[in-house]
Amino acid sequence: MVLQPLTSAAGVLALLSESDNHLRQHALKSLNPLVPQFWAEISENLTEIESLYEAEDLPTPARQLAALIVSKVYYYLEEYDEALSFALSAGPAFEAEARAHGAEEYVETVVSRAVDRYIALRSSVIPTSESEYTKDSKDIDSKLQEIIEGIFRRAINEKEYTQAIGIALECRRLDVIQHIYNLTKDTDLLIYVTDGVFETSFTLSYRMAVLRFIFPLFPPLSENCSHIHAVTRILVTLSSAPLTIPYLCNLVPDKLLLAYQIAFDLFESGVQEFLQTVMQQLPEGEGPHEAMYTNLRMILSGESSTKLYCEFLKRSNNVDMLILKHTKDSLDPRFSIYHTALSLQNAFMHSGTGSDLFLRENLEWLGKASNWSKFTATAALGSIHKGNLEKGQTLLQPYLPGNDAGGTGSVYSEGGALYALGLINIGRGTHVESFMRDKLKAFNDEVLQHGAALGLGVSGIGSQSETAYEDLRNVLFSDSAVAGEACGYAMGLVMLGSGSEKALDEMMQYAHETQHEKIIRGLSIGIAFLFYGRQEQADRVVDQLLADKDHILRYGGVYTIALAYAGTADNQAVRKLLHVAVSDTSDDVRRAAVTCLAFLLFKNPSQVPRLVQLLSESYNPHVRCGATLALGIACAGSGLQDAVEILEPMTKDPVDFVRQGALVALGMILVQQTEASVPASSTTRTLYAKIIGDKHEDPMARFGATLGQGLIDAGGRNVTISLQSRAGGQNMNAIIGMVLFCQFWYWYPLAHCVALAFESTAIIGLNQDLKAPLLEIISNARPSLFAYPAITKPPAKEAVEKVATAVLSTTAKAKARAKEKKEKGEGLDADAKSPKPSGGIEDVVMADDTKKTEEEGDKAAPPPEKEKKKKEPSSETLQNFSRVTPAQLAHISFPPDSRFQPVRSFTPLTASARSKGKVNGKGASERYAGGGIIMLIDRRPGEETKFVDLPPELVGEQPEAMAVDQETNMAVDVEEAEMPPPFEYPFES
């Protein structure tokens, strides 16, 4: 007999009304498997089933089964919160259901809801101390806690450690992380935690608590250990001198190379105030340790890094001077916008190289600068000599103001020189702070005050100097539009990331009182600087700024979002910016909102083209312009094809400033990209030359092409643009520099600040004595993939060819007759018998015809064989102080038998390690390792060492001591050029 399938659950439901408990229990057991099929019918009896759950005369297992049935019905009704509540009451019945076939989707949904509720409850509790993160809350339902504990137990038993750690991070259960690490002792899991903390939108207070908790769990550093970058990121983020100093001291002297490496990495990412505190509190050391601590201070001060990078940029300078010459010949210097454009292009291309050759060779062009273009041209010297901390003030001495304003020729060149001094000492200007403050207070001329304020701001980034802030505030209160704007920027730069309530109140109040738009704009960006990296602590100020009726303060509000959440990709911040981008009444605010998306998402550049693609097609040209800069900033140096494909059509946009933005953005994206790796690189360079040379093109588009041409070849083609540090964190100077660069829309001199974002792409290896030994590094890639672009060839002069002389037949016959008559004395009647000239004269005989016989003779000879094209090698050998682009780092390795090996690994994680510790598809070492200054382990310390020929001051030695290690046949033998003779640019001519 064949059983008929059930068509209704009515019979089973009827048993629920029986008074016999056995019948009701049987009904519940029979009803549970029927819920997926008859849940709609069962839902009409939910009240009755709920009453059975509450019935005290039923045994506990039956009541739990009733709760499970109610939970499943609510699940099918899509009432997930109710389903979770009854599932928690089901207890063992729910656990049994989790093992049943066909219940996977229901169980997964309920469990995910349980996790979400647990996370919400844990997040709502404000901990009074960090120990609150390591224990469960008494206010949370014990049944819910039991489900979460079961999830942790199951994940750990199945060795799904990353899953358990992810849930633990979200749930604020740091005790689970500690338990897993104690169980596995796997450092890659701690790296996974570190990456997860930085890549997820946690609150700032919780992020700091997690970092402080896991930092002691890391094992001591060792050679080629995988967690050196994670340790550096934690130290930089916490910026805690009491934590950093003991850590460095524990590495001295046994692990001195690691101590130096940590110090170099801290300098690259740390703020000025933190580094100064560490330097001051480091012990002096005794005996041989004294020199070690002295070296640590020198490294933390930036003296070593800056000198080494400057030397690299000077040695490797590959600027194509013909590009600058073409731009100079194409742009009329009588127009201020064109003169400024060329000044900026020259500054970008020679940034950090110390080469002012172009300026010296074009004195007539330089003399045509006037007013603010003169200010910009003088400030360009700061970008060119960036990093020359010792000689910066000497180089600028002819232009710096003396005791009287304009005493050296022009207040514009003097103001530009003060700004240039700040650019030379970017973020490391403690030794020039007093000089800048004196000049700021000494003069009442607004141009000088403008230059001094900008210089004081960029040199004192993050210094938290109260005296500098007060001097800037006093000048601000004089209500000069030009000086006040610069003071607004500088006050924010000096107090960067402090979140100072006093500074906020003063700046906000004055922004509402003044009538000058320039001052309001400077203050609005200055307020944004105050809240750099403050995340949720800036939300109140953001809401206040975005609600203001003044569109300039709303403009500052979107930059406050960008800086507060820089690099976090916070969803809520992205939503705010997108809302402003499509709803604000001001075009400036909408453009800024789109641009600011880049500052949130620069760690995931591949997401940005998809996000801004629709915005790039907006009817509003300001939104389209913002989209171009967003792509340029977020994808800078990546050569990302998706971004290039969006920008290339925008270079033909009907609106000039959209074309300008697209051309600038292409320069940022394609910096250090070759035609072999990114074909658009070559076409973009051709496009720049075409637009610059077209006199009928709009001035703004030509300005954008000139800037783009400077950016694509920035720093002598030896720097890239990166908002992310080598350790994987935020590159603070680069982010600040890009924000200031975006203000060139209103004020061209601020474009110089893009130099803050230039990062030298060098591998510089140092030994324990901080000297650079000769070594070989293997690049396992074709040389053409990462080679310098070909130097532009000068236009070939067209040689004037001589036109072949035509010989007419009548002339030839006449000459023949005359010759015959002279030789034989015959009369004219014998002309008919005279022979024709040799060669047989035709109607027209060309002089070149005499070559025909020779050519015919040559035809008999076999043609020469064509030279076979040499096959390009698959790798190349690089030396110390070599240029290595970011894309090339993945192909770099040290020969296994090499004497010198890096103290931190260049190679990506192994497949097994990558599967354990993986964030966004890339292992930590794969994203961050390599590049920059690397400390080297000497495997054969007893052998004689040959060193790179460096100027003696780079290693803190006297010249005589340097000569001991030098040899005439060194692979890198470039002597430092002598200082040029005293020279002044003829700005007044």
Alpha-carbon distance of 938 to 931, in angstroms, equals 19
Look at residue 223 in the predicted model and tell me its pLDDT.
82
CA distance 747 to 482: 11
Token output for 143:
């049944």
Query: Contact 596/608 with Cβ under 8 angstroms?
Result: no
Q: Is 869 exposed, middle or buried (0-12, 13-18, 19+ CB in 10 A)?
A: exposed
Cβ burial of 168 (10 Å; 0-12, 13-18, 19+) is: buried
Quick: pLDDT tens for 612-634: 999 999 999 999 999 999 999 99
CA distances from 549 to 543, 556, 575 (A): 12, 12, 21
Least confident window among 278-287, 401-410, 767-776 = 401-410
pLDDT at 625: 96
Kindly tell me if the per-residue pLDDT of 822 is higher than 70: no
**For 950-988, how does the pLDDT look when each residue is reduced to its tens digit (9 = 90+)?**
776 665 443 332 222 333 332 333 344 555 555 555 554
Amino acid, single-letter form, for residue 200: T
Reported in sequence order, the residue ranges of 85-173 that DSSP labels E, i.e. its strands, are none
SS3 of residue 877 by DSSP: strand
User: Looking at the predicted structure, is the pLDDT value of residue 423 above 60?
Assistant: yes
Q: What is the pLDDT of residues 427-468, one digit of tens each?
A: 777 788 888 999 998 888 999 999 999 999 999 998 899 999
The encoded tokens of residue 564 equal 């507060």
Averaged over 240-244, what is the pLDDT? Answer: 92
For CA atoms 913, 917, 921, 927, the dihedral sign is: negative
Instruction: Tell me how crowded residue 202 is: count the other CB atoms within 10 A of its CB.
Output: 22
The residue-averaged pLDDT of 263-285 equals: 88
Which span out of 69-78, 423-432, 653-662, 788-797 was modeled with the highest average pLDDT?
A: 653-662
| CA dihedral sign, ordered 104, 105, 109, 112 | positive
CA distance 812 to 42: 121
| Distance from C-alpha of 519 to C-alpha of 515, rounded to nearest angstrom | 8
pLDDT (mean) for 222-235: 87
Query: Band of the pLDDT at 101, cuts 50, 70, 90?
Result: confident
**Tens-place pLDDT, residues 520-557:** 999 999 999 999 999 999 999 999 999 999 999 999 99
Q: pLDDT tens, 36-45?
A: 888 888 888 8
CA distance 357 to 321: 9
- Residue the block writes with tokens 């605010």: 589
Query: Is-contact 163 155, C-beta < 8 A?
Result: yes
Distance CA 453, CA 455 (A): 5
Give the tokens for residue 100: 């049943």
Mean pLDDT is highest, among 131-145, 385-399, 901-915, for: 385-399
% the chain with pLDDT above 70 = 85
Residue 15 corresponds to which tokens in the numbers above? 């048993």
What's the pLDDT band for 867 if we cut at 50, 70, 90?
low
pLDDT tens-place string over residues 592-607: 999 999 999 999 899 9
Give the pLDDT of residue 263. Answer: 92
Split at pLDDT 50, 70, 90, the class of 380 is very high
More confident call, 368 vs 625: 625
Rounded to 10 deg, the angle between the 699-712 and 321-330 helix axes is: 170
The residue-averaged pLDDT of 841-856 equals 41
pLDDT recorded at residue 715: 93
Dist CA 116 CA 147 (whole Å): 12
pLDDT greater than 70 at residue 319:
yes
Residue 844 has pLDDT above 50, yes or no: no
Distance CA 708, CA 722 (A): 16
916 has pLDDT over 80: no
Chain length of the chain: 989
Residue 6: predicted pLDDT:
72
Name the region of 835 (left: φ>0; alpha: ψ -120 to 50; beta: rest).
beta
pLDDT confidence bin for 34, thresholds 50/70/90: confident
pLDDT digits 0-9 by tens, 183-198:
999 999 999 999 888 8
Count CA within 13 A, CB hemisphere, residue 724.
25
pLDDT at 19: 83
- C-beta of residue 152 within 8 angstroms of C-beta of residue 174: no
Q: Which residue has the higher pLDDT, 866 or 696?
A: 696
Average pLDDT in the chain: 84
Residue 799: the pLDDT is 53
